[in-house]
Structure 1
């Protein structure tokens, strides 16, 4: 019996910068026999290469980006994902407007770092910029 792989979907706007980098880095770190990683854009183009600056960053980190092609997000990708990583809260909202059932499978990267670190950063920011509202 073959176990189903855990599917991760990385989401950004056009699927040419942030989410492809997430996809490439996750694929490099995770066991491909246990994890399946894909990426898509909420306003993504179809079959576009990765942005040249993002591709250079991938190369700097030791990964190839030449074969990457962008994908617009669709309900199949969202429904198939066990975990959805969004680049921004706006992307999270876009995914939820498409598939509200995806709420429990989404994670925004800021939440990955943990709430304590985010609070410390926010306090530090407010100390440098008086009058900045608390989150």
Structure 2
């Protein structure tokens, strides 16, 4: 897969999901598959992987010791985050759930399932 194939995959996903065409900026696209929930799809050419990122909320996260420990327990092997990993965006300070998808054999249907699982996990984190 290359950047053009990545764009074609994202376009197919957007068409199937009834979303407007995605605009590529610096090898990533920002989509709104659900109201109030952005998803970023990024192309990692070096690893030939698609990254799915779902910000949790829109504000920097303030974690006390117990909240941080709970997040780390949930993130352990993605067990309570539907297989996603968690991190703090160094630019915004916001919590982000993310997953890497090997590009080889990736279909729009598999991408859609991964996006949906990441969104559900991000929304569950907002409730905490």
Q: Under a length normalisation based on structure 2, what TM-score does the superposition of the two structures give?
A: 0.25
Q: Hey, which of these two has a bigger chunk of strand by percent?
A: 2
Q: Name the one with the larger helix percent.
A: 1
